[in-house]
Copies of this chain bind each other. A is one copy, B any other.
Amino acid sequence: MKEEKSEIVITSLDDIARELGLSKSTVSRALSGKGRIGAQTKARVRQYVKKAEYKPNLIARSLAQSKTYNLGVVLPADSDLAEKPFFQVFLLGVCEAASANDYDVVVTVVVEKDISALKNLVRNKKVDGIILTRLLVHDYAAAYLKRSGIPFLVVGSSSDESLVQVDTDHESACENLTSLLLSMGNRRMAVVIGSDEHAVNISRYRGYAKVMENRPEGICREIVFQNVGSKTAIDKSVEGIMKEGADCILCGDDIICSQVLSKLNAMNIRIPEDIRVASFYDSAHLKYNNPPITALEIDVKELGVIAGQSLIDKISGKPFTRRTILNYQIALKKSTQ
Contact of B109 with A107 in the complex, beta carbons under 8 Å? no
Chain A, range 251-305, C-beta contacts under 8 Å to B = 255, 258-259, 262, 265-266, 283-285, 288-290, 301
**Residue with the highest number of chain B CB atoms closer than 10 Å, among A55, A105, A259, A288:** A288
Chain A, range 94-117, C-beta contacts under 8 Å to B = 95-96, 99, 104-109, 117
Residue of B nearest to A77 (CB): B92
Contact of B288 with A258 in the complex, beta carbons under 8 Å? yes
Task: Tell whether A84 is near chain B: CB-to-CB under 8 Å.
Answer: yes
Question: Shortest CB–CB separation between residue A306 and chain B, in angstroms?
Answer: 17
* Cα distance, A126 to B69, chains bound together (Å): 10
* Cα distance, A315 to B60, chains bound together (Å): 21
A289 in complex: contacting residue of B96, B125, B262, CB < 8 Å: B262
Copies of this chain in the oligomer: 2
With A59-B125, A88-B88, A125-B58 in contact, is A83–B262 under 8 Å at CB?
A: no
Contacts of A99 in B (CB 8 A): 108-109, 117, 120
Chain A, range 26-74, C-beta contacts under 8 Å to B = 55-60, 62-63, 68, 70
Per the CB 8 Å criterion, the residue count for chain A at the interface is: 51
Residue of B nearest to A60 (CB): B63
Contact of B104 with A108 in the complex, beta carbons under 8 Å? yes
Contact of B104 with A106 in the complex, beta carbons under 8 Å? yes
Contact of B126 with A104 in the complex, beta carbons under 8 Å? yes
With A85-B83, A265-B290 in contact, is A59–B62 under 8 Å at CB?
A: yes
Residue of B nearest to A105 (CB): B107
Task: Tell whether A225 is near chain B: CB-to-CB under 8 Å.
Answer: no
* Cα distance, A88 to B82, chains bound together (Å): 7
Question: Shortest CB–CB separation between residue A237 and chain B, in angstroms?
Answer: 15
Contacts of A87 in B (CB 8 A): 88
Question: Shortest CB–CB separation between residue A31 and chain B, in angstroms?
Answer: 14
21 contacts between A and B (CB under 8 A): A55-B123, A56-B124, A57-B125, A59-B68, A60-B63, A63-B63, A75-B91, A75-B95, A77-B92, A83-B88, A83-B89, A88-B88, A95-B109, A96-B109, A104-B108, A104-B126, A258-B284, A258-B288, A262-B290, A265-B290, A285-B285
Known: A57-B125, A85-B88. 4 other contacts (CB 8 A): A70-B106, A99-B117, A107-B107, A262-B289
Q: Which 5 A-B pairs have the closest CB atoms?
A: A265-B290, A88-B88, A262-B288, A55-B123, A95-B109
